[in-house]
Structure 1
Amino acid sequence: MLKDSVYDRVSGIHSKQPWFVLGAAQDFLLYHSDIPDISHFYSFEADPSTEQVLAIPDGCVDILFDCDECRPTAKVCGTTLSATNAEFIHNHRYFGVRFAPGVIPDFLDASAIELIEHQLNLLDVAPKAMSAFEKIVSRRIFSEQVNAFENFYLNQSTRKLSVLTLQTVGEIFAQKGNIQIQDLATSTGFTTRTIQRQFLADMGMSPKAFSRIIRCQSAVYDINHSKGVTFSDLACDLGFSDQSHFLREFKKLVSVTPLDYLHRVKHDAYVGRLRYF
């Protein structure tokens, strides 16, 4: 497949984990699900030459299967709030399910706040997933793993969010995270305290934290998919007070400066690893 074609296809995925791609030994497989709750599926083998692979904030819940033949495992990973070591094991093959930002699958026996910055054993919080787990870790073909999870998920649902939180999430998405709590109060008609209390109960984090994540992901997306990105313009578009504020925030959440990040993702080693199914 041509690189430009891969680049165009993957541009529809807004919840980026670029260090996962760069930490893959060879191909990084992607499948954009037709299920609205799921952002995408992915699979890769951890490169032994990569010392550390970071997870960056994306507002998503991932279910990550370590498909090791001797000791397979699966864990539920809530979003991080800053760049964090993902702790992949060298030479192990992983299969991942990334839910859409803000979506929490209802079959997980864990509160929203318990998921944030935590990794939980899948079968501890979702015993009913045992059959799907066994099918996924026993298969070596990516499409068969995707089918196994989608078949399991047919009878599942997502956790219901309050109308207020749904409206708040929608406003945050619409503004690419560039929104203040006072603006949310004006648009929803609720007090800032009520918005914060309900959002924390539903999402496990504050509206401010979620907005920071979406703004970070918006910056990552624009750098990945803009032909000639200008950091000063990007900082302005995303509502940062100045370019230095943008640089500090980006480095905290992504672990490198925007320029360093641009050099990494624009390199052929990044795009060349993507295989879209």
Structure 2
Amino acid sequence: MNYQTFEPHANLASVVKCYWTLEVPKEPDTQRQRIVPDGCLEMIFILGDDIKRYTSENEFIIQPRAIVVGQITEPFIIEPTGYVHCFAVRFYPFGFANFISTPIKELANKETPTAQIFGETPSIELEQSIINAADEHQRVAIIEDFLLNKLSEKATIDHVVKATIETLFLTKGNTTITAILKNDLSKRRQLERKFFKQVGLSPKQLGKVIRLQAALKMLLNQKTENLTRIAYDNEYYDQAHFNRDFKELTGINPKDFLENDKMQLSTIFYSKD
């Protein structure tokens, strides 16, 4: 398995978290994998064999080859059908709204073909360029040229939304929206509307996801196996609160997390900052 990340151009660094590539050889016995919410949106190009996403225990769809995955509030269960090769852009929570006019909430909990977002002809041209690129560095150059052109066409993100998200990340999701707004509750509804349009989640939901990611990193990096300690360090009210949020967003209990054979990709994606 080969997973690499690449830093974005300085002009995109405020909206793009990273570019990543993943290659996994075809295996005789593929396993379903659990992808959990992380607060980010991704544009993914599937360059290898098809990938299934399960919509129920026994039903699945074949993911389109060029997609945007919006905010997810529950785990995605995917399964490769053979050789895995993906190239992707990981956007900050507020990042993708800078490139489109479609409200981000309309992309939530699903994969949307890029053609539906950017138009069929530009999307086909972009996909073919990504497919035919000589290597990952050339793919980064291609996607950055595309994004920089799109960025100049759109208004920038609301500064209050950006500042709120930065505070949530800085405090690992442990600051209340009331505190961020300095007890000015008259601004709360307006902020929530902007969040749903530009991020796809409410501020409270995003804070919950960010806090979960902090707990996930502790588990994945095996800093401690004491779940009570993890709950305490991440400022959950108690162990029950931690367990409830964890299962809601990952579909699995914390104590079973590391032993689950569906967590291989999550271990790669979420163990690092």
1:42 to partner: Cα distance: 2.0
Q: 2:218 matched to which residue of 1?
A: 222
Q: 1:173 matched to which residue of 2?
A: 169
Which structure 2 segments of 5+ residues have no match? Answer: 51-62
Q: 1:42 matched to which residue of 2?
A: 20
Distance, in Å, in 1 between the alignment partners of 2:2 and 2:14 is 25
Distance, in Å, in 2 between the alignment partners of 1:165 and 1:200 is 10
**Structure 1 residues 180, 43: CA separation in 2 closer, same or farther (over 3 Å shift)?**
same
Work out the number of aligned pairs and report it: 249
Q: Which amino acid aligns with 2:16?
A: I
Distance, in Å, in 2 between the alignment partners of 1:150 and 1:42 is 13
> Quick check: 238-247 or 86-95, which moved more?
86-95
Q: 2:95 matched to which residue of 1?
A: 103
Distance, in Å, in 1 between the alignment partners of 2:49 and 2:74 is 32
Q: Does 1:121 align with 2:113?
A: yes
**Structure 1 residues 116, 90: CA separation in 2 closer, same or farther (over 3 Å shift)?**
same
Distance, in Å, in 2 between the alignment partners of 1:186 and 1:227 is 34
Q: Where in structure 2 are the equivalents of 1:1-277 lying within 5 Å?
A: 26-34=1-9, 35-45=13-23, 49-68=29-48, 73-86=65-78, 88-127=80-119, 128-139=122-133, 141-157=135-151, 160-186=156-182, 190-225=186-221, 227-228=223-224, 230-262=226-258
Distance, in Å, in 2 between the alignment partners of 1:60 and 1:27 is 22
1:36 to partner: Cα distance: 3.6
- Contact 1:67 1:138 (8 Å CA) reproduced: no
Going by fraction, where is strand more abundant, 1 or 2?
A: 2
Distance, in Å, in 2 between the alignment partners of 1:160 and 1:229 is 42
1:121 to partner: Cα distance: 0.8
Provide Cα deviations, 1:117-153, integer angstroms capped at 9, x if missing partner. 1211112211334433211112363233222212322
Distance, in Å, in 2 between the alignment partners of 1:153 and 1:144 is 14
Provide Cα deviations, 1:242-274, integer angstroms capped at 9, x if missing partner. 112212221221233334334569x9999899x
Distance, in Å, in 2 between the alignment partners of 1:185 and 1:68 is 46
**Structure 1 residues 198, 29: CA separation in 2 closer, same or farther (over 3 Å shift)?**
closer
Distance, in Å, in 1 between the alignment partners of 2:259 and 2:207 is 26
Distance, in Å, in 1 between the alignment partners of 2:265 and 2:204 is 34
Root-mean-square deviation over aligned CA pairs: 3.5
1:215 to partner: Cα distance: 1.0
- Contact 2:93 2:199 (8 Å CA) reproduced: no
1:87 to partner: Cα distance: 5.6
Q: 1:14 matched to which residue of 2?
A: none
Q: 2:53 matched to which residue of 1?
A: none
**Matched position secondary structure for 1:154:** helix
Distance, in Å, in 1 between the alignment partners of 2:117 and 2:193 is 25
Which structure 1 segments of 5+ residues have no match? Answer: 1-25
Q: TM-score, normalised by structure 2?
A: 0.75
1:184 to partner: Cα distance: 3.0
Q: TM-score, normalised by structure 1?
A: 0.74
